[in-house]
Structure 1
Amino acid sequence: MSETEARLPREAEELLAAAERAAAEFVDYDRDRVARIVEAVATAALEQAEPLAVRAVEETGFGVVADKILKNQTIAKTFLEDYADADYCGQRSDAVSRMLLVPRPAGVVLGITPSTSPVAAVCFKVLCALLTRNAIVISPHPGAKRVCTDTALMLARAAEQAGAPRGAVQVLSEPSIPVVEAMMADPRVKLVIATGGGAVVRAAYRSGTPAIGVGPGNAPVVVDETADLKQVAEKLVRSKTYDNGVLCTTESVLIAVETIAPRLLTLLKARGVHLCSPEETRRVRDHVYPGGRFNTKVVGRDATVIAADAGIEVPANTRILLTPIDSVRSEEPLTHEKLSPVLAFRAVPDFATAVAEARAILDAAGLGHSAAIHSEDPQRVLDYSFALPVHRIAVNVPASLGNAGIGTHLPVSMSLGTGYIGGSSSSENLNPEHFVQWSRAAYSTNIFDRFPDFDGLERSAPRVSAPRAMQEGSASTPAMPAEIARVIDRDGLRRIVLEELRDLIGAR
């Protein structure tokens, strides 16, 4: 047993042991068996979408029940409909590139989920894992651990009743930072999917285990003179109020060209947007970012609640607090992510200035994540897309939904990669493709060499797990020599790398 395994509490040790057994069994399932499991689990998630949404709001205090119901339903329906014919079990052949592709599941996946969309995130990661024949252990945010635990257990029952290996879906009921960090570094975990704040994402990448970390957003939205302002107002309000702004894709700072700003403000105010005075903006700033630090008590709260807590009076029908700011420098707290129906506002002379300010906002926070633009000028959309260091830009659609793949052709996802720009290994909307890799059997480029037809063929030879056989030894496979085993031991490798780094930089 490694040092990492020795530090694990009993619950975590049992979860990983069971997940490893499940993954070893799951890898031999065919597409039909997997499809039945995914259908059963997605159906169970759909049936429980409403009560679980109610419980999520009750436990966390975040968001809007109706919007969470829709979010939960969307995830379930995506797997029942969009992935109904997906096959991550059988081979794929490409006669053009003359390759045979064979799927390789990760094995044991550790899924770290946030508190802002707890049920949808758990359902999404579990369904991605099952569709690709992986076992998954969910580590929920402590602020949503009760609803996440019950959701994962419900999905686990549905999976096992449909034929999934026992232990294919599990949940850490008492998550803590030390336990989660130890699990991330455990050699039985082959992939970490971390969704949350920057700290948990950095911890995932430090673990030494292959990881996809998706961190915070801070989407600027630019509105130019060519936009349909009535449509813009409707879409902005719909987006910013969806689940009270808890999605990381939601608009954070609105930047409008001066010539259309008065008309846009009039349309927004008619839809329940309260334009704050300078004094009201100061009070909101001090409440949302007291002492420059984000106040998590505002996350997903109603605009009227945030206003009352900030000490300002607003109409009872207020849906969004619009806070004009004097600059987009990083020293202005309201240019950062707010995860609430608070929207900062800037009016600028022209489109070029709007682009520059959107870039400045992202340089301060939200690199790689997302942005939005409302414009009917394709040249401006092109220029904006080149100028902004993000990997998804919602065009003329509500950003909170569009960048998450709802109402656009981006993959529907609860986790969005920020790419190299934002310190993530992926720039894409997380989807089942990220839970499986492919071995490639490559044929000659010579067209006169035959490339066979693999359609209809099924694997007949048993799958062999060479690394396990070599590590444990068997009657047919000799055990690996101790000196070689030490070389490939993960903890040992980690120590060697650290020693070499210390020597390299002169650290002591």
Structure 2
Amino acid sequence: MSLAAVEAGAAPDPQEVVGALMRRARAAQEAFADADQARVDEAVRALAWSLYKPEHAQELATLAVEDTGLGNVPDKVIKKQRKTFGTLRDLLRAKTVGEIERDEARGIVKFAKPLGVVGAVTPSTNPGATPVNKAMMAIKGRNAIIIAPSPLGHRTTEKAVNFMREALEAIGLPADLVQILPAPITKEVTQALMSAVELVVVTGSQDNVRRAYSSGTPAIGVGAGNVPVMIDETADLDAAARKICASKIFDNATSCSSENAVVIVDAVYDAAIAALERAGGFLVDPGLKDKVVGELWKNGKLNRHLIARDAETLATAFGLPEEARRSRFFMVEETGVGRGYPLSGEKLALVLTVYRAADFEAAKAKTREILELQGKGHSIGLHTTRPERARELAEEMPVVRVLMNFAHTFGNGGGFDSGLEFTLSMGCGSWQKNSLSENLNYRHFINITHLVTPIPEDKPSEEALFGPHWTKYGK
């Protein structure tokens, strides 16, 4: 762009902006590509500490709430440290340099190689945690990463990126292994980034996910949540209620894994509601249901002034009685599912929709109906003492994850009592046109070379393969 154009206030050319970042990223990645495993893990630790460090976590959490108005500072501090700690644990246990797997029987040895430069689109709900989480995984694969933040969260993400760059320089690595798109963030610049990198990873709006998949670059996108959780007649009701409350209220329900609906079997419905009330829930009078819906949605869209706000703010907006202001979340009873029933969808607020089901089979049917509306592929939960029911859900339901007896938010994206990988990006499979049906992890940030050597011939006879067909249908 010419000096005259700059002085005239012309918008930066997206290709020039991205081109400059890519040149620096490629130089940094090439310098890092031959690092051994110890050096790679040193870099990952440095990135993790740049966010886990208490004063940094506090500063970024405060900045995020100031800029986005979403969530709350104490929970964002916990999220940043917990996710970073868990992800670091997972990454340090993995090998991503040289030989990573050997199968003597098949004569195959696998070697990990870098991808190159990764482009990461990150959301306003987690403008500090998600960029660092993705950067740790990218660096584990010996890649460079350029982050395209949400415009609302740019200031927070820029600060997080600066912390990471300082951490890399402190251990003698190129700061340009981690970069950020400069403000103002536009669709055009983000699209240019998507086209230039070797891999795009998108967490956030479904519009961004769709644009990533159409960019011509290999892309990993994740789907929207709308988690329904069931309580059956065998559940420990108080334990279930405490877990649902802890998960629902965390960071004011910003997580895609936060419970949006609870489906309770009739036999324990009243007792379960009482347990949820003891845990901090407030059951909204049916006469105020329309008021809740009218405030939570404006012109068919979620009211941005009530998304991820505290309980007192919601109680005031909904016109609830004084006692509701001391509650931690709000329960609204519903019967229908679909576009005419907004409460059946994702709310990103401290509002839990409650359904009554005749029995477990009816609860399953209602849960499936909710998923068909929104959130299909993401996850569901079940509170029960009958593990075979959880297995039944895993066999039948169109979701990637089924969690039994968990506080959903703390198990779905990885947990110290959950075997799922720690992540802030959860794939939803083909149900939401995602390319992965698992939690995003380091394996998605490496290329694999297969060394193939001869093995004893493994060729069965025609009879062994076609025999059953010949016997049943003839030759």
- Please confirm whether the aligned pair reaches a TM-score higher than 0.5, indicating the same fold: yes
- The farther-off stretch of 78-87 and 61-70 is 78-87
- Letter in structure 2 aligned against 1:13: G
Residue in structure 2 matching 1:422, options 411, 432, 436: 432
1:283, 1:312 within 8 Å by CA — same for their partners in 2?
no
Residue 25 of structure 1 corresponds to which residue in structure 2? 31
Residue in structure 1 matching 2:406, options 370, 388, 397: 397
Distance 1:391 1:168 in 2: 32
Task: Kindly indicate whether residue 258 of structure 2 is the aligned counterpart of residue 250 of structure 1.
Answer: yes
- Letter in structure 2 aligned against 1:19: A
Residue 12 of structure 1 corresponds to which residue in structure 2? 18
Residue in structure 2 matching 1:199, options 207, 222, 226: 207
Residue in structure 1 matching 2:229, options 197, 212, 221: 221
1:215, 1:417 within 8 Å by CA — same for their partners in 2?
yes
Q: How many residues align?
A: 441
Residue 51 of structure 2 corresponds to which residue in structure 1? 45
Task: Kindly indicate whether residue 407 of structure 2 is the aligned counterpart of residue 380 of structure 1.
Answer: no
- Letter in structure 2 aligned against 1:429: N
Offset of residue 312 of structure 1: 2.9
| Equivalent residues in 2 for 1:184-333, closer than 5 Å | 184-186=194-196, 189-315=197-323, 316-333=325-342
- Letter in structure 2 aligned against 1:169: V
Residue in structure 2 matching 1:355, options 361, 364, 372: 364
Provide Cα deviations, 1:293-329, integer angstroms capped at 9, x if missing partner. 2222222111221221233334231111101112123
- Normalised to the residue count of structure 2, the TM-score between the two structures is 0.89
Distance 1:130 1:220 in 2: 35
Residue 418 of structure 2 corresponds to which residue in structure 1? 408
Distance 1:243 1:96 in 2: 49
Offset of residue 7 of structure 1: 5.1
Distance 2:182 2:233 in 1: 52
Secondary structure of 1:391's match? strand
| Equivalent residues in 2 for 1:67-86, closer than 5 Å | 67-86=75-94
Residue 443 of structure 1 corresponds to which residue in structure 2? 453
Distance 2:392 2:45 in 1: 43
Offset of residue 9 of structure 1: 5.1
Change (3 A) 1:165 1:94: farther
Gaps of 5+ in 2: 1-11, 459-475
Residue 155 of structure 2 corresponds to which residue in structure 1? 146
Change (3 A) 1:300 1:443: same
2:120, 2:134 within 8 Å by CA — same for their partners in 1?
yes
Offset of residue 181 of structure 1: 1.2
- Letter in structure 1 aligned against 2:388: Q
Offset of residue 52 of structure 1: 1.4
- Letter in structure 1 aligned against 2:50: A
2:111, 2:450 within 8 Å by CA — same for their partners in 1?
yes
Change (3 A) 1:423 1:314: farther
Provide Cα deviations, 1:102-129, integer angstroms capped at 9, x if missing partner. 1121111001111112211011011111
Secondary structure of 1:413's match? coil
1:98, 1:442 within 8 Å by CA — same for their partners in 2?
yes
Offset of residue 344 of structure 1: 0.5
Change (3 A) 1:378 1:21: same
Residue 167 of structure 1 corresponds to which residue in structure 2? 176
Offset of residue 291 of structure 1: 3.2
Residue 478 of structure 1 corresponds to which residue in structure 2? none
Residue in structure 1 matching 2:128, options 104, 119, 122: 119
1:298, 1:306 within 8 Å by CA — same for their partners in 2?
yes
Provide Cα deviations, 1:261-290, integer angstroms capped at 9, x if missing partner. 100111111222110112222111111122
2:255, 2:348 within 8 Å by CA — same for their partners in 1?
yes
Aligned-residue CA RMSD (Å): 1.7
Distance 1:41 1:375 in 2: 40
2:121, 2:201 within 8 Å by CA — same for their partners in 1?
yes
- Normalised to the residue count of structure 1, the TM-score between the two structures is 0.84
Secondary structure of 1:253's match? strand
Offset of residue 173 of structure 1: 2.6
- Letter in structure 1 aligned against 2:418: T
Task: Kindly indicate whether residue 137 of structure 2 is the aligned counterpart of residue 137 of structure 1.
Answer: no
Secondary structure of 1:183's match? helix
Offset of residue 99 of structure 1: 1.2
Provide Cα deviations, 1:360-383, integer angstroms capped at 9, x if missing partner. 111111111111111111222122
Residue 468 of structure 1 corresponds to which residue in structure 2? none
2:15, 2:192 within 8 Å by CA — same for their partners in 1?
no
| Equivalent residues in 2 for 1:326-341, closer than 5 Å | 326-341=335-350
1:136, 1:170 within 8 Å by CA — same for their partners in 2?
yes
> Which stretches of structure 1, 4 residues or longer, exceed 6 Å deviation after superposition?
none
Provide Cα deviations, 1:413-458, integer angstroms capped at 9, x if missing partner. 100001111110011111111111211011222199xxxxxxxxxx
1:38, 1:159 within 8 Å by CA — same for their partners in 2?
no
Residue 62 of structure 2 corresponds to which residue in structure 1? 54
Gaps of 5+ in 1: 1-5, 449-508
Offset of residue 49 of structure 1: 1.6
Offset of residue 139 of structure 1: 0.7
Provide Cα deviations, 1:2-47, integer angstroms capped at 9, x if missing partner. xxxx952543321112112222222111112112211222122211
Offset of residue 85 of structure 1: 4.0
Distance 1:331 1:415 in 2: 30
- Letter in structure 1 aligned against 2:155: R
Offset of residue 84 of structure 1: 2.4
Distance 1:252 1:235 in 2: 14
Distance 2:297 2:448 in 1: 46
1:330, 1:361 within 8 Å by CA — same for their partners in 2?
no
1:181, 1:203 within 8 Å by CA — same for their partners in 2?
yes
Secondary structure of 1:118's match? coil
1:112, 1:193 within 8 Å by CA — same for their partners in 2?
yes
2:426, 2:438 within 8 Å by CA — same for their partners in 1?
yes
Residue 492 of structure 1 corresponds to which residue in structure 2? none
1:303, 1:342 within 8 Å by CA — same for their partners in 2?
no
Secondary structure of 2:216's match? coil
